[in-house]
Amino acid sequence: METRARSSLFLYAVWMVAFVIAPIVLVVYYSMLDLNGHFTLANYANFFSWAYLKMTLTSFWYAFLITAFTLLFAYPTAYLLTKTKHKQLWLMLIIIPSWINLLLKTYAFIGIFGLYGPINAFLEVFGFEPKQILFTDFSFIFVAVYIFIPFMILPIFNALDKMDKTLVYAARDLGASGWTTFRRVVFPLTIDGVKSGIQVTFIPALSLFMITRLIAGNKVITLGTAIEQQFLVAQNWGMGSTIAVFLILIMVVSMLFTGNKTRGGRAL
């Protein structure tokens, strides 16, 4: 038994050291280097400067809005899905769009929100002047919610599906209103699903950079955009790593918060 364990763990252990531990160590190490490779804490000082703090706060604000709207639309959808007759089939239909390449879906919105796109054509029917919807906060948040919603629906659906239905009947029999039943029974029982849904939305939302570039047109700078900017444009790996360290810390906090019951980010 023991020898089998050791030999089958070998490759996995190599993977873990090389691609989990080493990258984290390297990011922390690089965050303490300046452009010339000398040891410095200037990156951290820089990170706590007003310009970066403001960017971090805006990034958090956007991530919060994206997560809140995603939850707001995902929960009722998941709830209603569990009530449909062929719920597994409907769930699969919800999941399929999430399998289409992310870039293609984002690209679609460049056309849809464009000056001559269908949304503006539709608004024109009601006498509104066409205007640029692309490159606004609205378009950014809409597209992000669109991208994340299947990943929020899935864990909530699973939680709702596993819930003991008789508890709802019991609550109703004892005189609870529909809303009270939801607030005091259904929601607390599905909180784990909500938590994993938030986890797979909030951190990715903080680190978006492709959608900000294509849809928000560089107007919205998230932490992810800043990392990409520092690494690939400014070539300042030290500063980029400092922001990455901050994101890793947030991730650790969120892992503790959700009690390590992660069910896999994009998992179907």
Partner 1 sequence: MSKLTMTARIYLAVVFVILYAPIFYLIFYSFNSGGTMYTFESFTMEHYAAVFEDTRLIVILINTVLVALLSGLISTIIGTLGAIGIVSLKNQKLRSTILSLNNVLIVSPDVVIGASFLILFTIIGVKLGFASVLVSHIAFSVPIVVLMVLPKLLEMNSSLIDAAHDLGATKRDVLTRVILPYIQPGIFAGFFLALTYSLDDFAVTFFVTGNGFSTLSVEIYSMARAGISLTVNAISGLVFLVTVLVVIGYYMILRRSDKDAKTEVRA
Which parts of 152-191 interact with partner 1 (CB under 8 A)?
158, 162
CB of 180 to partner 1, least distance (A): 18
CB of 144 to partner 1, least distance (A): 13
Q: What is the DSSP letter of 89?
A: H
The reply to whether 72 sits near partner 1 by the rule CB under 8 A is no
Q: Which of residues 202-221 bind partner 1 (CB under 8 A)?
A: 203-204, 206-207, 209-210, 213-214
Amino acid identity, position 136 = T
The residues in 91-130 that bind partner 1, with binding defined as CB under 8 A, are: 92-94, 96-97, 99-112, 114, 116-118, 121
Per CB under 8 A, 63 contacts partner 1: no
Residue 220's SS3 state is: coil
Assess 238 for contact with partner 1 (CB under 8 A). no
Residue 164, Cβ neighbours under 10 Å: how many?
10
With CB under 8 A as the contact rule, the residue among 49, 50, 51, 83 that binds partner 1 is 83
How far the first Cα of the chain sits from its last, in Å, is: 33
Binding residue for partner 1, selected from 9, 72, 191, 234, defined by CB under 8 A: 9
CA distance 138 to 142: 6
Specify the DSSP element, H or E, that contains 21. Answer: none
Amino acid found at 256? L
> Which stretches of 84-117 are DSSP H helices?
87-99, 102-112
Residue closer to partner 1 by CB (options 50, 81) is 81
Residue closer to partner 1 by CB (options 45, 252) is 252
Least distance to partner 1, CB of residue 116, Å? 4
Contacts with partner 1 in 134-153 (CB under 8 A)? 146, 149-150
Quick check: 167 and 189 in contact, CB under 8 A? yes
Q: By CB under 8 A, name the one of 42, 221, 231, 236 that touches partner 1.
A: 231
Residue length, the chain? Answer: 268
CB neighbours of 129 closer than 8 A, spacing ≥ 6? Answer: none
